[in-house]
Amino acid sequence: MEWFVASAVGLASGILASMGLGGGFVLVVYFALFTDLMQKGAQGINLLFFIPITVIAVFMHIKNKLIDIKTAIVCSLIGLPAVVGGFYLAQNIENQWLRKTFAVFIIISGLKDLLSKKQQNK
């Protein structure tokens, strides 16, 4: 039964991630709450899980002309040093603080979504 739940979570995360809808949230919450993994391990597996999903999703979005290549390159060049810095920062934070920071981030994101006005499609 455990493999079935893990498979369902992986499937849901992949589908949500490929649509840009927060599949990582589902995966990290599953690992953090329902397995013995520490927060850092859950986040690490989450990042590894999304490498193939990201490659496929980006390919499909480029194929459908939904990505501005110049903007993507600029964001990637700026984001790469931030990733390295974030990695080293996470390595120096205790697991309980990393877990609490993640929880606060999720709460703030949820409140923002709940309290923001929805824009109508034109």
Q: Is 94 exposed, middle or buried (0-12, 13-18, 19+ CB in 10 A)?
A: exposed
Q: What global pTM score does this model have?
A: 0.61
**pLDDT per residue as tens, the chain (122 positions):** 688 888 888 888 878 877 767 777 788 888 878 888 888 888 888 888 878 878 888 888 899 999 999 999 999 999 999 989 988 888 888 888 888 888 898 889 888 888 887 665 55
Q: Is 41 exposed, middle or buried (0-12, 13-18, 19+ CB in 10 A)?
A: middle
Residue type, 22: G
Q: What is the pLDDT of residue 120?
A: 58
